[in-house]
Structure 1
């Protein structure tokens, strides 16, 4: 199964160095992706 994700975020004072996205599976957090600039 494939699920498309779309998110919009606004950060004050510049962008963070790392952003992680997790999915709550009901049994805890499951990492989806991590991006580092």
Structure 2
């Protein structure tokens, strides 16, 4: 197993998590604004 590919995969995994988090926050904010 190549060390560089493992590091790159970990960075990509972190990016995916961050994108999912931002999408959830944005959807929650939109739903909250609609309730007001």
Asked if TM exceeds 0.5, the reply is no
- Structure with larger Rg: 2
Q: RCO (CA 8 Å, sep 6+): is it higher in 1 or 2? A: 1
- Greater strand share, 1 or 2? 1
- What TM-score do you get using the length of structure 1 for normalisation? 0.17
